[in-house]
Chains A and B, each alone.
Chain A
Amino acid sequence: MVKALAIFLPLLGAFINAWLPGKSPKASRVVSYLMLTAGLIAVIMLSIQLGAWNLRDLSDSVILSTGVGSPPLSINLEITAGGTLAAIVMYAATIFSLHRFALTTPKSQPLILALLTASLGLLFATDIFNSFVFLEIGSIVTIGLTAACKCGSRWEAAIKAALVSGLVTILYLLAVAVLYRSTGMLTLAALGNVSGASAVIVAILLLTVIVTEIKAFPLTGWGLDFYQGTSSIVAGLYSATWSLAVLLWAAKVLPLLPIGNPIIYAWIGAAGLVFSQLAGLRASSSGRIMGYSTSAYASLLLVAAGTTTGAFYTQTVIVLMIFSSIAKFSLFMLGNPEKKDQWSGFGTLLFLVPILLLAGIPPLPIFWAKFAFLAHLASGFPVIFYAVLAGLLLEAVYLFRFWSARSEKTGEKSAKRPSAVAAVLLMLLASVWITRMSWGALDFSGSIIESAGLRNIFHGLFAIGTLLCLPGVFNRIGREKSYWFWLLISGAALTILPAAGNGLTFYLLWEISAFAAVIGVSKGTAASKGTFWYAVFASLSGYLLLGGILLSKGSFAMAGVPAVLITIAALVKMGQFGTHLWNVRTYPAAPGTLPAFLSGTSSKAAVLLLVAVAVNSSSASLPWGRVIAWIGALTALGGAILAALAPDYKKMLAHASVSQLGYILMGLGLASILGWTAAIYHTIHHLIFKMALFLGAAGVLYRTGTTEFNNLGGLVKKMPWTFAFTLISVISFASIPPLAGFGSKWLLYNGLIEQGWLPVLIVGMFASVVAFLYSFRLLHGVFLGQLSPKNAHAKEAPLPLLIPQALLAMAIMVLGFKPTILLNFLVPVLEKIGLSGLAPVIQGDMVLTTMGTWNAWMVGLMVMGLFGFAFVFYWISGHKPKYVGQLDIGFAGEMPPSADEVHYSNNFFRPYQRALSFLPKIHAQKIFSGVNKTFNMLGDGVRALFTGDGRTYLAHSLIFLLLLFVFLNGGM
């Protein structure tokens, strides 16, 4: 009885409602809610009875038999465990959207309930003609709801849906006729009994119907137009009920089709995924973007049907389809493309969750399904694997762009959309649930880095880096919103990262850390662009990492392609060699202390990754170490030049950060013990000084509200402590003894000389010289010179920002005068790894290599002595400086258009810029815009298929049918 109630209660509601609404809208709504709630309870009871919540085994089912006798005479509905989960989603979506429909089109309630009935019926149907009846109900209701909705393009959307449903009807009934003539049965299972010429006919007809109905590429066109044209409420309900039902029905039918080798599905799906997502890059309307995303999931379904079987297939498909439906439902319910809704910060975040879900970011549920599925593909279907990976990355790009475009419209109005809020909460709950299921796959027992010493260094770095960022999180300015929570999550994930015992665990923590930081960045003022770039590059490095991990079957003992993929992932994360674009856009946009965290702490995750790849390889080295060292050297130089020319404090620090990370790469590329000592040493050093600098910048921004050099200068009088700490950091990273930076360079150059990599050495040294330029500009532009009148009221930075800086400055001093404290610990750890070359020998304060000796303590004392001498000399010389105003500069001839033009910080290094102008200008930005243009062109080429003429879509379907016929007859 429960079975029948679960499926047919909405139908009774629909019939009652056909009579009620004219009389009493309220009563009709009460009836709907009653029926829906009762049905939902029935479905939940069924799902518990079938053990669906365990998710591991979704094959259990109960039969609801109807009519007289048993199949093939009568019709059964098979209520599967996975289906009950989908049914719960459908019920919930209908309940949640009912009030929105009641507001716009109150008389549509019977249709909504009929749609739910059709969805449930199709979900559980086991008979091919019965499926047809439900398919028709679904199409009719969809067309009706679309035509009755209140939006501009409804007629067009309805007409196109009607045209396609007309063609589908014809093709489907032909398949039914051929099937019945051939087998004498109409059950879905009978599809397997068809043989010979009829098999081909049935297969091509039904496959065309399925691909059209699920809107997989190339038969996507009508779906795109439909999603774009219909109202967001209809689209939301549609994607959570009808679309879900059709997808799961297709998943049920596809394995039964008499098609020979099902791998053809996977090829259609994989090719379709790449092409449709290329076209998706060009979509701008939100409905259309959702359409492309639907197409992506439909293609994934085809790939799954072609490559997996049994319980794994069911599980993958159920999780992917259910959660993508929920995500689309909540996106549609949140965002009305017509009304240009505005959101508060909460709304923006709410909007991000479904996007992250669709993009498959851990720990949200789709991630688990995608991960297992991709792992399966990686082990047996390499080409399809790469295609799927590429398609998913493209999808992530446009989804994030969509989100950033929408969150630009962030206003102060809060998101009062209970349905969407509920959907998002449901999703988060589900993610907890599913994570619990998949928890066993996580491994913290061993670690990808066996050496406990190295691990502890990174644990410590991440923990300390996060902690030092935390005090300053409440010193926010302007419209910056609270980001501390996401900083904490990101930092916590990072801190656990070195303990990851397998690839999955590592990837999970890596992505959580990256995307928690993405959300954090989005809390900044006008941060949408920076967030977008960060999200895209984080996705890129994430997918590369995922690809590598999956290709090496989750272990870090790898070589060849996986190692190269992972290395590139790390390089992207570090912003090396052209990928610095994201650093330069993200750090200035990120709020408060977050840039310090990103640049100082989070970037070290990439170092950890490289270390992990190297220590697990047979020769304890990275693939193509020399190339990596070169990348590091060139990035160090390029970053330094760009930093010197940057017009903005934070931008300069971003370039400088990328440049400094290049030195770490040089050391790691060396694969000698000296190089690694330098690399790890510099990793620690970089964390310290970069955090100090960015925290200083946060203080300056907090007090002055700007980071442009044109508006800064002379702050030394207002912010002496910030200046002092910044000075210490600058001296250190300019590698001037006695501070810590000198040691890292000394070790690195020793290592380079030891290996005889002199060209790299020369480039690296030259980069260090350029670093002087920007370090001077940094000090001068912000703190020295004359005070800008705009900053006359600036005060010293608040203590929560100053104290961490003080600690960091102290660390620089300690590391500078007594580097042996660290080296005594580090060198023995590295010696055990099995690196080539000779280890530096430490005797007391002395560090000895084959090339020379470094006594930091002595050097420090001597430099301090010299400094003291110079200071005394300066003091007794009685020099009296003359103070002038910031813009107090004489000029003759042409009048500059604005006073800022004569600000000394304006185009500070123009002479160098001119001197270098003979060099060809290779802007990473230009390269990327070239890439962007190429992709746009490809996307335009693909989407030219979707002409907007409904008849063209019908022609697509028929041509697809003909091609299938040719292919199957040639291939079978």
Chain B
Amino acid sequence: MTAQSLFYWSLVVTAAGLVLIGLWGVLTRKNILRIALAFTLADTGVNLILVWSGFLPNRSAPIVDASVTSMVDPLPQALVLTSIVIGVAVAALFVVVGVLASRKSGSADVRRMKELRW
């Protein structure tokens, strides 16, 4: 296994692991802020997967220069940029809503936010 492909696979494993841990946290944590954190974790994992989707071994960053001959795909990097900003925006709103919701219900426990059901 070359260093490049080792990097490649470790990227995938880290990313998938982050997503899975994040989802596990989302499904099982009770504190709304921890759930927010778990979402950020999963988001990071997803962003890594996006990067991975454009990654090719033995290539350089997509900035055109006389010395550069082969580049990786610029598109996924652009997507990640967008996705990160969107993640920030969503997290900012989520935290505000989460904090205020827990102020309203007196605790950050999502199990207490079950007035609406059935």
Give the B-binding residues of A (Cβ under 8 A).
129, 133, 136, 139-140, 143-144, 147, 153, 155-160, 162-163, 165-167, 169-170, 173-174, 176-178, 180-181, 186, 224-225, 228-229, 279, 282-283, 943-944, 946-951, 954-955, 958
CB–CB B114/A947 < 8 A? yes
The reply on B5 being an interface residue by CB < 8 A is no
Complex CA gap A948/B42 in Å reads 23
A775 to chain B, nearest CB (A): 50
Tell me whether B110 and A155 are in contact (CB under 8 A): no
The proximity string for B residues 83-102 relative to A, scoring 1 for CB distances below 8 Å and 0 otherwise, is 10011011001101110110
Q: Given A174-B19, A951-B110, do A166 and B115 touch, yes or no (CB 8 Å)?
A: no
Considering the complex of A and B, which 9 residue pairs feature the smallest CB-CB distances, nearest first?
A: A948-B117, A948-B114, A155-B101, A225-B116, A177-B53, A181-B53, A166-B39, A173-B46, A943-B118
Apart from A147-B96, A170-B22, A180-B54: 12 A-B pairs, beta carbons within 8 A: A136-B86, A140-B90, A155-B101, A155-B113, A157-B116, A158-B101, A169-B87, A176-B50, A180-B53, A180-B79, A948-B117, A949-B117
Name the CB-closest residue of B to A141.
B93
Asked if residues B76 and A166 are in contact (CB atoms below 8 Å), the reply is no
When chains A and B are docked, how far (Å) is the Cα of A546 from the Cα of B25? 50
Of all chain A residues, the one with the shortest Cβ separation from B89 is: A140
Point out which of A162, A174, A948, A955 has the most chain B C-beta atoms below 10 A from its C-beta: A162
**With A147-B100, A177-B49, A181-B53 in contact, do A162 and B117 touch (Cβ < 8 Å)?**
no
Bound-complex Cα distance A256 to B81 (A):
27
| Distance (whole angstroms) from the CB of A133 to the closest CB of chain B | 7
B10 within 8 A of A: no
Which B residues between 46 and 77 are near A, CB-CB below 8 angstroms? 46-47, 49-50, 52-54, 75-76
A946 to B19, CA, bound (A): 25
Interface set of B (CB-CB < 8 Å, partner A):
19, 22-23, 26-28, 32, 35, 39, 42-43, 46-47, 49-50, 52-54, 75-76, 79, 82-83, 86-87, 89-90, 93-94, 96-98, 100-101, 104-105, 110-111, 113-118
Cβ–Cβ contact B116 & A229, under 8 A: yes
A949 engages B110 (CB within 8 Å): yes
With contacts A180-B53, A186-B75, A954-B26 known, is A170 near B46, CB below 8 A? Answer: yes
Secondary structure type dominating chain B contacts: helix
Asked whether B22 lies within 8 Å of A948 as measured between CB atoms, the reply is no
Is the beta-carbon distance between A129 and B79 smaller than 8 angstroms?
yes
> Roughly how many angstroms separate A69 CA and B116 CA in the complex, as a whole number?
49
Q: How far is the CA of A228 from the CA of B117 in the complex (A)?
A: 9
A352 CB to nearest chain B CB (Å): 27
Shortest C-beta distance, B37 to chain A (Å), equals: 11
Q: How many A-B residue pairs have CB under 8 A?
A: 131
Q: A159–B90 contact, CB under 8 A?
A: no
Contact A955–B27 (Cβ < 8 Å):
yes
Q: Which residues of A contact B100 (CB under 8 A)?
A: 147, 155
Give every chain B residue within 8 A of A133 (Cβ-Cβ): 82, 86
Closest to A948 in B: B117
In this complex, what residue of A is CB-closest to B52?
A177
Interface contact B117-A136, CB-CB below 8 Å? no
Interface contact A153-B53, CB-CB below 8 Å: no
Nearest chain B CB to A949 CB, angstrom units: 6
- Bound together, the chains give a CA A282 to CA B46 distance in angstroms of 39
CA distance A927 to B71 in the complex (A): 75
CB of B79, distance to nearest CB on chain A (Å)? 6
Question: Are A159 and B50 closer than 8 Å at their CB atoms?
Answer: no
Q: A133-B86, A225-B116, A954-B27 are in contact. Are A949 and B75 (CB under 8 A)?
A: no
A sample of 10 cross-chain residue pairs with beta-carbon separation below 8 angstroms, ordered by A number, consists of: A133-B86, A140-B93, A147-B97, A160-B116, A169-B90, A173-B50, A181-B53, A944-B118, A955-B27, A958-B27
Contacts of A159 in B (CB 8 A): 32, 97-98, 101, 110, 113
A180 touches B75 (CB 8 A): yes
| Structural contact, A950 and B110, CB atoms closer than 8 A | yes
Q: Are B115 and A948 in contact (CB under 8 A)?
A: yes
**Assembled-state Cα–Cα distance A164/B115 (Å):** 17
Q: B residues within 8 A CB of A173?
A: 46-47, 49-50, 83
B117–A180 CB distance below 8 A: no
How long is the Cα–Cα vector from A174 to B79 in the complex, in angstroms?
12
- The answer to whether A174 and B26 have CB atoms under 8 Å apart is no
CA distance A282 to B118 in the complex (A): 8
A279 to B117, CA, bound (A): 12
Q: Given the complex, which residues of A lie within 8 Å of B105, measured CB to CB?
A: 155
Q: Chain B's nearest CB lies how many Å from the CB of A719? A: 54
**CB-based contact A162/B22 at 8 Å:** no
Docked Cα-Cα span, A177 to B47, in Å, equals: 9
Name the A residues within 8 Å of B76 (CB-CB). Answer: 177, 180
- A225 CB contacts on chain B under 8 angstroms: 116-117
Contacts of A178 in B (CB 8 A): 53
Contact across chains for A156 and B26 when beta carbons are under 8 A apart? no
B40 to chain A, nearest CB (A): 9
A944 cross-chain contacts in B, Cβ below 8 A: 118
A947 proximity list for chain B (CB < 8 A): 114, 117
Residue of A with least CB distance to B40:
A166
Separation in Å of the A79 CB from the closest CB of chain B?
23
Give Cα A174 to B53, complex, Å: 10
Q: By CB atoms of chain B within 10 A, which of A156, A158, A955 has the most?
A: A156
Least CB distance from A750 to B in Å reads 59
List B contacts of A144 (CB < 8 A): 93
Report whether A170 and B23 are in contact in the complex, using a CB–CB cutoff of 8 Å.
yes
Give B30 Cβ to nearest chain A Cβ, in Å: 9
Which residues from chain B contact A162 at a C-beta distance below 8 Å?
90, 93-94, 97-98
| A153 close to B42 (CB less than 8 A) | no
Q: In whole angstroms, how far apart are the Cα atoms of A524 and B52 in the complex?
A: 69
Residues on B with C-beta less than 8 A from A943 are 118
Report Cα–Cα, A158/B96, bound state, in Å.
11
Give the contacting residue for B27; candidates A129, A143, A177, A951; CB below 8 A: A951
A955–B25 CA distance with the chains assembled, in angstroms: 12
Inter-chain CA distance A228–B118, complex, in Å, is 10
For B19, what are the chain A residues with a Cβ–Cβ distance below 8 Å? 170, 174
Query: In the assembled complex, how far is the CB of residue A152 from the closest CB belonging to chain B, in whole angstroms?
Result: 8
Q: Taking the nearest CB of chain B, how far is it from the CB of A881, in angstroms?
A: 65
Pair A951/B89 contact, Cβ less than 8 Å = no
Tell me whether B104 and A136 are in contact (CB under 8 A): no
Chain A: minimal CB distance from B10 (Å): 17
Report which residue of B47, B52, B110, B117 has the largest number of chain A beta carbons within 10 angstroms of its beta carbon.
B117
B23 in contact with A174 (CB, 8 Å): no
In the complex, the answer to whether B93 meets A143 with C-beta atoms within 8 Å is: yes
Residue pair B94, A166 in contact (C-beta under 8 Å): yes
**Are A169 and B27 in contact, with the CB atoms below 8 A?**
no
Q: Are A156 and B82 in contact (CB-based, < 8 A)?
A: no
Among B43, B101, B111, B117, the residue within 8 A (CB) of A169 is B43
Contacts of B47 in A (CB 8 A): 173
**Distance between Cα atoms of A538 and B22 in the complex (Å):** 52
A174–B49 CB distance below 8 A: yes
Choose one: B23, B46, B87, B90; the contact of A177 (CB below 8 Å): B46
User: Within the assembled complex, what's the spacing in Å between the Cα atoms of A271 and B66?
Assistant: 61
- Complex: how many Å from CA A955 to CA B93? 22
- Bound complex: CA A950 to CA B112 (Å): 10
Task: Give the distance in Å from the alpha carbon of A159 to the alpha carbon of B22 in the complex.
Answer: 18
Give the complex CA separation of A166 and B32 in angstroms.
13
